[in-house]
């Protein structure tokens, strides 16, 4: 029996899907205007692990998992203008980077990956429906959702009105009937990307994208809606309101599941704060994707996760030990205690501790697969990352660390290469290497 903490209910609930043969899950994916940082990777890894857990219990073909791509956004438009290119150049580039990074972390592709720019018609149709039902209105070439028309608005985040207005960082605009009203459609100015609509040429607001794509691909009510805690308000609150009002009060999701932040100190990791470390940089430093995945699973998904070098080192040490036990065994039946830990609100720290206690190689391999771990054979693991390109990338990262006088980082990379059987030799002409 799987139990999940439901943000709406504020408690763990037994997971009972509407249709066990077609379990539906939607997770808010990336806005593709820059490289993904390790905090962006946490929901991808968490919900990939949840999908593995659900499919293990209900069947490999039991789940339809959608993770969207937001490829129209003001930040994308700004990035395109800065480079003097079309927005599609930016979105194609960073979507490719995102998919490569998530693949390196062992994240399976979702069943469906809807793109906002390919889903404009369903968005326009939902906006028209909301206007017709009295839940939205047109003003100054915009269409806005009328928060006052939804008596249950705020039921997910449980914030009072003043906190909701402040938390949404609302735009002060004279055409709004209420300060809390939010944009469903906005005009595109000049050559900005846009589409024809009943309200003029423009583009959708962020919130309507997900509501319309969920309806188009999964249905009016889905089993699980997931994402980071920062999306509870305003994004998921607004999604919920739109969908509920468009669908005669039907709930958008049976379970709302949110992961905690990754932090680099006191604050969450975010591009706007500038305190980010990207997945691409971590991989270039020689860290294996599986090591980063284990590090992201080392804390419970609802808890904050401090990102440190010691966390990465501890994760690699544990994986080294597990690979020595697993050797070249074929995956066997997963251990019941590991399954039980994952079934209990995806308790990955407990699952990892129980995984470390398994001494049967086949059972270990089968159990680790639930977490997306031990996917390589042991020989490849201990030799992996030692192809010439990866070695050179790590040497470059070491040189950059030395240049900025970060000798602790420089020594760490040297010691990791040595542990992998690579000996560095510094000389007047630079750094060369040889295998031990």
Phi and psi (nearest 5°) for 426?
-85, 135
Cβ neighbours for 332, distance < 8 A, ≥ 6 positions apart: 360, 362, 363, 365, 366
Give the tokens for residue 54: 């659900």
pLDDT at 379: 82
pLDDT at 302: 98
**Residue closest to 161 by CA, chosen among 141, 178, 184, 137:** 178
- From CA 161, how far away is CA 124, in angstroms rounded? 28
Tallying the residues shown for the chain, one arrives at 436
Higher pLDDT, 28 or 165: 28
Q: Which range scores top for mean pLDDT: 110-114, 173-177, 416-420, 424-428? A: 110-114
Phi and psi (nearest 5°) for 409?
-65, -40
Longest Cα–Cα distance in the chain: 75
Task: Produce one character per residue of 21-53: b if its CB has 16 or more CB atoms within 10 Å, e if not.
Answer: eebbbbbbbbbbbbbbbbbbbbbbbbbbbbbbb
Q: How confident is the model at residue 174 (pLDDT cuts 50, 70, 90)?
A: confident
Q: What is the mean pLDDT of residues 285-292?
A: 93
Cβ neighbours for 51, distance < 8 A, ≥ 6 positions apart: 25, 63, 65, 108
Residue 168 has pLDDT above 60, yes or no: no
Give the tokens for residue 221: 């009510």
pLDDT at 164: 61
Residue 117 has pLDDT above 60, yes or no: yes
Phi and psi (nearest 5°) for 51?
-60, -40
Stated pTM of the model? 0.87
- From CA 319, how far away is CA 305, in angstroms rounded? 19
Residue 306 has pLDDT above 70, yes or no: yes
Of the candidate ranges 17-26, 228-237, 409-418, the one whose mean pLDDT is the lowest: 409-418
Q: What is the mean pLDDT of residues 311-335?
A: 95
Average pLDDT over the chain, rounded to whole? 93
pLDDT at 165: 62
pLDDT digits (tens, 9 = 90+) for 85-103: 999 999 999 999 999 999 9
pLDDT at 85: 97
pLDDT digits (tens, 9 = 90+) for 234-257: 999 999 999 999 999 999 999 999
Q: What is the mean pLDDT of residues 389-394?
A: 76
pLDDT at 167: 52
Residue 385 has pLDDT above 60, yes or no: no
Tracing tokens 């007047």 back to the chain, one arrives at 428
Question: What proportion of the chain, given as a percentage, has pLDDT over 90?
Answer: 78
pLDDT at 220: 98
pLDDT at 277: 93
pLDDT at 130: 98
C-beta of residue 280 within 8 angstroms of C-beta of residue 256: no
pLDDT at 415: 86
- Cβ-based neighbour number of residue 188 at 10 Å: 16
pLDDT at 145: 98
Of the candidate ranges 178-182, 196-200, 320-324, 426-430, the one whose mean pLDDT is the lowest: 426-430
3-class state of residue 83 by DSSP: helix
pLDDT digits (tens, 9 = 90+) for 402-420: 888 888 888 888 888 887 7
Strand 23-27 and strand 63-67: pairing? parallel
pLDDT at 151: 95
3-class state of residue 203 by DSSP: strand
pLDDT at 90: 97
pLDDT at 166: 59
Q: How confident is the model at residue 162 (pLDDT cuts 50, 70, 90)?
A: low
Give the tokens for residue 35: 């490289």
pLDDT at 418: 83
End-to-end Cα separation, the chain, in angstroms: 50
Q: How confident is the model at residue 271 (pLDDT cuts 50, 70, 90)?
A: low
Residue 157 has pLDDT above 90, yes or no: yes
C-beta of residue 264 within 8 angstroms of C-beta of residue 311: no
pLDDT at 135: 98
- From CA 51, how far away is CA 39, in angstroms rounded? 19
pLDDT at 266: 59
- From CA 133, how far away is CA 72, in angstroms rounded? 27
**Residue closest to 303 by CA, chosen among 270, 348, 338, 271:** 348
pLDDT at 389: 66
C-beta of residue 299 within 8 angstroms of C-beta of residue 46: no
């Amino acid at each position: 029996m799987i139990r999940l903490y439901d943000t709406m209910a504020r408690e763990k609930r037994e997971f009972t899907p509407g249709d066990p043969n077609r379990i539906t899950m939607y997770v808010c994916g990336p806005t593709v205007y820059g490289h993904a940082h390790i905090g962006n990777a946490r929901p991808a890894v968490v919900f990939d692990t949840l999908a593995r857990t659900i499919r293990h219990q209900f069947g490999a073909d039991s789940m339809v998992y959608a993770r969207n791509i937001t490829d129209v956004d003001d930040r994308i438009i700004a990035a395109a203008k800065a480079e003097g290119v079309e927005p599609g150049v930016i979105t194609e580039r960073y979507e490719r980077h995102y998919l490569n990074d998530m693949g390196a972390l062992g994240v399976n592709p979702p069943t469906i990956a809807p793109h906002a720019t390919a889903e404009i018609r369903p968005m326009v149709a939902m906006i028209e429906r909301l206007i017709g039902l009295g839940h939205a209105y047109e003003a100054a070439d915009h269409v806005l959702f009328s928060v006052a028309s939804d008596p249950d608005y705020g039921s997910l985040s449980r914030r009072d009105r003043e906190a909701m207005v402040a938390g949404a960082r609302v735009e002060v605009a004279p055409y709004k009937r209420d300060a809390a009203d939010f944009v469903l459609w906005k005009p595109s100015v000049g050559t900005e990307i846009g589409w024809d609509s009943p309200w003029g040429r423009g583009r959708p607001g962020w919130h309507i994208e997900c509501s319309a794509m969920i309806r188009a691909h999964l249905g009016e009510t889905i089993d699980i809606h997931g994402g980071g805690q920062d999306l509870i308000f305003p994004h998921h609150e607004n999604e919920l309101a739109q969908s509920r009002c468009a669908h005669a009060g039907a709930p958008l999701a049976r379970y709302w599941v949110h992961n905690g932040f990754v932090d680099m100190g006191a604050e969450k990791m975010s591009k706007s704060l500038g305190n980010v470390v990207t997945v691409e940089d971590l991989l270039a430093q020689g860290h294996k994707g599986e090591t980063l995945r284990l590090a992201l699973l080392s804390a419970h998904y609802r808890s904050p996760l401090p990102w440190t070098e010691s966390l990465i080192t501890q994760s690699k040490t544990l994986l080294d030990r597990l690979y020595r036990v697993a050797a070249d065994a074929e995956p066997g039946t997963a251990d019941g205690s590991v399954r039980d830990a994952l079934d209990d609100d995806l308790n990955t720290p407990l699952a990892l501790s129980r995984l470390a206690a398994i001494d049967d190689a086949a059972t270990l391999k089968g159990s680790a697969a639930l977490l997306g771990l031990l996917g390589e054979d042991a020989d490849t693991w201990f030799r992996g990352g030692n192809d010439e390109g990866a070695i050179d990338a790590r040497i470059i990262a070491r040189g950059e660390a030395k240049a900025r006088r970060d000798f602790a980082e420089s020594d760490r990379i040297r010691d990791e290469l040595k542990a992998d059987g690579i000996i560095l030799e510094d000389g007047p002409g630079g750094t060369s290497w040889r295998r031990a």
